[in-house]
Amino acid sequence: MNKNMEQRILGKDLKVSAIGLGCMGMSHGYGDPKDKGEMIELIRKAYELGVNFFDTAECYGPYINEELVGEALKPLRDKVKVATKFGIQLKNFKQTLDSRPETIRQSVEGSLRRLRTDHIDLYYQHRMDKNTPIEEVAETIARLMKEGKVLHWGLSEAGKDNIRRAHAVLPLTAVQSEYSMFWREPEQGIIGVLEELCIGLVPFSPLGKGFLTGGITKGTQFAKNDFRSTVPRFQAGNIAANMDIVELVKSVATRKGISPAQVALSWLRAQKPFIVSIPGSRSLKHLEDNIEAVAVTYTDEEMRQLNAAIDSIQLQGDRYSPENQKNIDR
């Protein structure tokens, strides 16, 4: 493993590489799954390059992504941190939410089996379940911690009120939320609360689901098994309207001699010391490019100018379908 990779602390004491690897896209969400053998090799290569923080969920596939991650990391299990999630069942990208205690218990046993491990380093509630009080969820996780099956816990797409309520029962280590130059809502919402309570932030989709890399154009057609086909933000009219942010990222990349992806990832890393993003990757080229973003720095003046430029851009389109948008906690 590359010992030079920067390490960051989530919560009180979960030490992880400054950039993680989101594994979802290897087998779910972005079209047809990639070859399992190639993805196992890629995950192990990520470890060699310095990544020790890997993210999955039971609903990715469903189930097959956890199986992939479990097989890939089995030889490295004591050297890495694995995060997975409970609380969502998916069918045709539509979400059914269930965080009842008995369901969490079933989920954790299934995840442990698929991940080929006896413990989960970071276990997230994937979405708030309005039918199960967050205090009841926290109490269930506390019992799993006493059994040694879960070491740390977190929430995904949680609002400020539920973060505070959950943390009061059982201290949270991390909150996962979409956050990028393409979606900055956490700055007005949860980041201040996380800083106050010493909770880490793990941004998913730090590359704007591929948009910030410049690889998506207004003529891009998404397959039916690519969830972006259901997202308003990726309708042709909105793609065209949002190209200003892509042009900005490209201009910064040219000026600094780096890739657009490295601009997006290094910008995120610079926002707070408790932020660890988890870009997905399905190729060695993109993996290496993403990891190299850890070395990119900005002067205070560069960051001031970049943030002012982002502020001046008006972006269009919701980030989820109406069906899934209603499941986001605010």
Catalytic residue ranges: 60
Cα(180)–Cα(201) distance, integer angstroms: 12
The C-alpha R_g of the chain, in whole angstroms, comes to: 19
Half-sphere exposure of 237 (CA within 13 A, CB side): 4
Pairing assessment for the beta strands 94-97 and 88-91 based on DSSP bridges:
antiparallel
Neighbours of 330 (CB within 10 A): 12
Three-state DSSP at 151 gives: coil
Amino acid at 58: E
Task: Record the tokens describing residue 310, joined without a space.
Answer: 């982002």
Nearest CA-CA partner of 129 in 174, 88, 92: 88
Residues 121 and 69 sit within 8 Å (Cβ to Cβ)? no
Task: Record the tokens describing residue 309, joined without a space.
Answer: 């430029």
* Alpha-carbon distances of 97 from 94, 132, 221, 301, rounded to whole Å: 10, 10, 30, 44
Instruction: Name the helix (H) or strand (E) containing 15.
Output: strand 14-17
Task: Record the tokens describing residue 318, joined without a space.
Answer: 């919701």
Cα(6)–Cα(255) distance, integer angstroms: 24
Identify whether 203 is preceded by a cis peptide bond (ω within 30 of 0). Answer: no
